Amino acid sequence: MKFFILTIYTHHSELGIRNSELMNITIIGLGLLGGSFGLAIRQAQAANRVIGIDLNQEIIDRACERGAIDEGHLDSVEAVREADLVVLAMPVRTIIDTVSALADCLSEKTILFDLGSTKAAISRKIAALPIAVRYIGGHPMAGTEQAGIDAAAAGLFSGAPFALVPPAPVDDEAVELLSCLIRAIGAYPIIIPADRHDQIVAMTSHLPYLLSAALVQTAEKTAQTEHRLWDFVAGGFRDTSRVAASNVRVMTDICLTNQKPILKGIEQTQQALAQMAVWIKEGDQQALEAALTQSKATRTRVFGERGTTLATKKVSFQGERGAFSEIAALEYFGDAAEPIPQPWFDDAFKAVELGHCDYGILPIENSLAGSIHINYDLMLQHNLHIVGEIKLRIVHNLLVTPGVSKTEILQVQSHPKALEQCVEFFRDNPELKSETVYDTGGAAKMLSESGARDIGVIASTRAAEHYGLEILESGVEDNPQNYTRFLVLAPEPAEPEGDRIKTTIVFSVPHESGTLFKVMSAFALRDISINKIESRPLIGSPWEYFFYLDFEGKANSLQNSRALNHLQEITTYYKLLGSYEEGRTVDRG
């Protein structure tokens, strides 16, 4: 077995990491992916120096010629032992066979990262190791039918999704570092669990390969008796059978390490083909056309919108991973969301305003606790626009270190608002003392890091999954009708779509009798429905206020624009914060 090792020296600061120490990356496996990874790093100037280490001098020489490395060596031990990041760019079963011996060479700080096409089998192997390893799985959704260092290309990952698959509890520092590195080479990271990743790629990558191979085999058998078959092959067959030319060893390895999801996909495809066969046999034109039309529409929608629907959207939120704001971001943007945690609400606004994030998502109102006043104030301080909203049910759970029983717990930690919403739980459990911390997700993170057995936390189901905690009790909140409304903020306004549009404005009026009544009249006279009005103190002018107003419809509709023109004749300050579609309600918090 040959190992090809590529070492990259780079600075964390160049990747967006707040650390100036020199970073040493070792890539094991200098084929298509490993070589392309090195080329991409160098092209992005994300490395000061690239060193390749290989057991084959010819590979080293060729890597130097291609510009994938600056120099090469045959000794690999020190490159692994001193690395900050070790990247395994080999077939999955080779990775599985390698990690046991490799783990003994890694320092405690070293992050182990792989580019394998399936993740669950590798994750299970890593978890079973007798020593702890800082492991994050990876899978770039990019490639060609070619293999080897000569097929490597710096642009291979450009614009491609790049799966990051961290095991629980999640190493947030490692995920952040790898996310920055992935963005530096032009790809966009998507964080996803191993099982879900394998199910998805079975359908989108592995099954298409098998279908392509089966089509070529069937055609070849037919060609044995119909010798003119290949003379009639055109673009359709060529496009459909393209992936059959992929690296056979790699694809065999993939199929045998992702058996269950692939077999399920084969079964589903067989059922779909069997149904089509029935329609064809029976001459059922209507059913066949309906199915084919649906398939055509789906493909057109997916690939026609690919540039906008699949591109990662960096979304800032206040709190740690597992916070309800992160859940809101994932629900609103789906798999395109890359939530970026921020320590304070002001930081979440600034991240968008400074261009570090594409969007921000901030809680503005809770159905039990009322408005989140600080975010109303921050909307006035920052030049951002409301472009959407979502309403999320808040479900609180009691989380503990795995294996801990309720009788061992002495203290329960969470955000003060979360604790206030669980008063009945503490009344029923008077032996438990409550302690406030800065965030629900932060409480889960601290418990995961400490492993304490006498502490529980109140947080979300996602926090439990992310930090590897156990849910001891679900739904410990006092009132199930506990919802939070989140606003989606962007640097530029967006034209809203949909049937239910609302607009938010902020204004102030002279401290004179009847002025607020006149403002309300501007809407009432035009039968414009007002959803909400919120007042906030005008700092520096005691007993004067800013008023935040939500009303139905677009700001630029004829009726609403007249009302707003009327309003501006009365107000001393006016700002349009945004028109946006009324958000859906998500009941699974």
Is the pLDDT confidence value at 76 over 60? yes
- Answer yes or no: is 267 within a domain: yes
Q: Domain for residue 107, yes or no?
A: yes
Whether 321 and 293 share a structural domain:
no
Query: 565 with 514, same domain?
Result: yes
Percent helix, strand and coil across the chain, each rounded to 5? 45, 25, 35
| 389 and 401 housed in the same domain | no
Beginning with the edge strand found earlier in the chain, give each strand of the sheet holding 4-11 in spatial order: 71-73, 49-54, 4-11, 22-28, 85-88, 111-114, 134-140, 161-165, 188-191
Q: Per mean pLDDT, which range of 80-94, 255-269, 417-431 is the poorest? A: 80-94
Reported confidence tier of residue 160, pLDDT bands at 50, 70, 90: confident
Residue with more model confidence, 12 or 563: 563
pLDDT at 405: 94
Picking from 455, 473, 491, the residue at the C-terminal end of a domain is: 473
Write the pLDDT tens digit of every residue in 313-361: 889 999 988 999 999 999 999 878 888 888 889 989 988 988 888 999 9
Name residue 442's amino acid: G
Whole-number average pLDDT of the chain: 87
Token readout for 405 is 């029983």
Peptide bond into 169 cis (omega under 30): yes
pLDDT, position 183: 84
In a domain, 511, yes or no: yes
State the pLDDT at residue 22. Answer: 47
396 or 538, greater pLDDT: 396
Beta strand 71-73 with 134-140 is unpaired
| % residues pLDDT > 70 (the chain) | 93
Res 309: pLDDT: 43
Bridge pairing between strands 359-366 and 313-318: parallel
Per annotation, catalytic residue among 324, 345, 486, 546: 486
d(CA 79, CA 77): 5
**Are residues 273 and 349 part of one domain?**
no
Residues 263 and 156 in one domain: no
In the chain the first and final C-alpha atoms are separated, in Å, by: 49
Same domain (yes/no): 24, 153? yes
Q: In this structure, what CATH number is given to the domain that contains residue 438?
A: 3.40.190.10
**At 302, is the pLDDT very low, low, confident or very high (cuts 50, 70, 90)?**
low
The Cα 324–Cα 484 span in angstroms is 9
Residue 266 structural domain: 198-306
Indicate whether 174 and 145 sit together in one domain: yes
Find where tokens 């959704």 sit: 141
In a domain, 527, yes or no: yes
At 308, the pLDDT band (50, 70, 90 cuts) reads very low
Query: Within 13 A of 12's CA, how many CA atoms are on the CB side?
Result: 13
> Which residues lie closer than 8 Å to 4 by C-beta, 6 or more apart?
28, 29, 30, 31, 34, 52, 53, 54, 55, 56, 59
Residues 140, 55 within the same domain: yes
Per the annotation, the verdict on 37 as an active-site residue is no
**pLDDT of 305 higher than 60:** no
Does residue 356 sit in the same domain as residue 403? no
pLDDT at 539: 82
Q: Which of 98, 110, 440, 484 is catalytic?
A: 484
Of 154, 173, 193, the residue at which a domain comes to its end is 193
pLDDT at 40 over 50: yes
Whether residue 152 sits in one domain with residue 168: yes
**CATH number of the domain that residue 253 is part of:** 1.10.3660.10
How many domains is the chain partitioned into structurally? 4
Which residues have C-beta within 8 Å of that of residue 574, sequence separation ≥ 6? Answer: 505, 506, 507, 564, 567, 568
Q: Which pTM was predicted?
A: 0.60
- pLDDT value for 7: 44
Q: Would you say residue 478 lies in a domain?
A: no
DSSP string, 295-364: HHHHHHHHHHSHHHHSS-EEEEEESSTT-HHHHHHHHHHGGGEEEEEESSHHHHHHHHHTTS-SEEEEEE
Q: What is the mean pLDDT of residues 433-459?
A: 93
Closest CA to 174 of 19, 387, 369: 19
Q: Which of 414, 443, 473 is the last residue of a domain?
A: 473
Mean pLDDT, residues 152-166: 85
Band (pLDDT 50/70/90 cuts) for residue 399 is very high
CATH number at residue 9: 3.40.50.720
Instruction: State which amino acid sits at residue 285.
Output: Q
* CB neighbour class for 377 (10 Å; exposed up to 12, middle 13-18, buried from 19): middle
Q: Are residues 181 and 212 in the same domain?
A: no
Q: What is the pLDDT of residue 229?
A: 93
With bands split at pLDDT 50, 70 and 90, how would you rate the model's confidence at 128? very high
The pLDDT value recorded for residue 4 is 41
Q: Is a pLDDT exceeding 70 seen at residue 289?
A: yes
Let me know if 257 is a catalytic residue: no
In this prediction, what percent of the chain has a pLDDT beyond 90?
56
3-30 tens-digit pLDDT: 444 444 444 434 443 333 447 888 888 8
Looking at residue 307, what is its pLDDT? Answer: 39
Instruction: Say yes or no: 168 and 244 in one domain.
Output: no
- What is the average per-residue pLDDT within 379-395? 95
